[in-house]
Amino acid sequence: MEFIIDKEKIKNMNNIVFLYSIGGGYGNLSKIVGKKLIETYKGKVVGRIITDFFPDVVKINKDGYISDNISYKLYSVPIGNYNFLVLYGDFQIMILEDPGLSLYFRYKFMNRLFRIISKFNLLEISIIGGIGSHQLEPENPNYLFALNKYYDINKIKEKLGELNLYKSNNVIGMSGLFLYYSQLFKKPAYLLLVETYLSNQINGYFGASKALEILGKLYDFQVDTNDLKEKGKKLKERIEKDLNMIKKLEEENKKREKSSGYYYG
């Protein structure tokens, strides 16, 4: 495991918001949010993490060339009065391997990462995650917050006017571990959970758009998310069409079974 980080450059930054932006959670919201911020505000790479803890999945891009996806990159993204450090990557640690190994490597990775970033002048840590919906992703999804004990709850109340907390429940995966380790290392942090698809195989564009809207209110910026909403609309239409087709096929099969006089069981 190798952490290649420009510590001198980061050392001179103020008002640092560390944003967790790793794919693999419900709707891949965190990854979509991070990518949008990096592209909109022309983020620059200030670090890179290479490790054999990643799954052996290599991504091929739309042009047929191999992508640099078996690593995490740390981007510096200045937005207004804040310096965002966006930890961006396609996969969570060992997500495709044995669950026991995954847990071991994830905790080992988190220990190493937080020993490094805890030395930065962090204002707070922002973690984005998804709440799985048992229906199609709503166009105006609900959202909830979970906090660690070092985060000032009034900061959210002042910016949003309300605070809906995620209570008496569990968070599974690296987003939950990030919140846990932020408390261990005494860094203020919150987890923003937005309603989306109950899968990491379907991108939650409406959920990501809502997360960006909330981040914008918290940190005084505005990002155009019309492209994400349009993708979300087209995706939803395709899924609805596929579901209607499956329903129609099931109904036709039932009719054939009934008319044939035979019992299929």
| C-alpha span between 137 and 82 (Å, rounded) | 31
Cα–Cα separations (whole angstroms), residue 39 to 30, 36, 151, 213, 216? 14, 5, 28, 16, 15
Q: In what order do the strands lie in the sheet with 122-133?
A: 2-5, 44-50, 72-79, 82-89, 16-22, 122-133, 189-197, 143-147
Q: What's the mean pLDDT in 65-92?
A: 88
- How does pLDDT run across 196-221, given as a tens digit for each residue? 999 888 999 999 999 999 999 999 99
pLDDT of the residue at 37 = 98
Q: Which residue has the tokens 């060339």?
A: 65
| C-alpha span between 180 and 191 (Å, rounded) | 10
How many other CB atoms sit within 10 Å of the CB of residue 226?
8
Domain-embedded: residue 257: no
Domain-embedded: residue 247: no
Q: Rounding to the nearest 10 degrees, give the CA dihedral for residues 25, 65, 98, 86.
A: -40
Domain-embedded: residue 85: yes
Cα–Cα separations (whole angstroms), residue 98 to 54, 90, 138, 139? 12, 19, 33, 35
Whether the CB-CB separation of 201 and 96 falls below 8 Å is answered with no
Q: Which residue has the tokens 């984005």?
A: 128
Rounded to two decimals, the pTM is 0.86
Cα–Cα separations (whole angstroms), residue 220 to 65, 81, 181, 212? 38, 9, 27, 11
pLDDT-derived band of residue 259, with 50, 70 and 90 as boundaries?
A: low
Domain-embedded: residue 114: yes
CATH number, domain of 147, equals 3.40.50.10900
Domain-embedded: residue 178: yes
Whether the CB-CB separation of 76 and 85 falls below 8 Å is answered with yes
Domain-embedded: residue 214: yes
Domain-embedded: residue 252: no
pLDDT of the residue at 262 = 46
Domain total of the chain: 1
Domain-embedded: residue 212: yes
**Which has the higher per-residue pLDDT, 55 or 50?**
50
Range of the structural domain that residue 135 is part of: 2-230
Whether the CB-CB separation of 200 and 26 falls below 8 Å is answered with yes
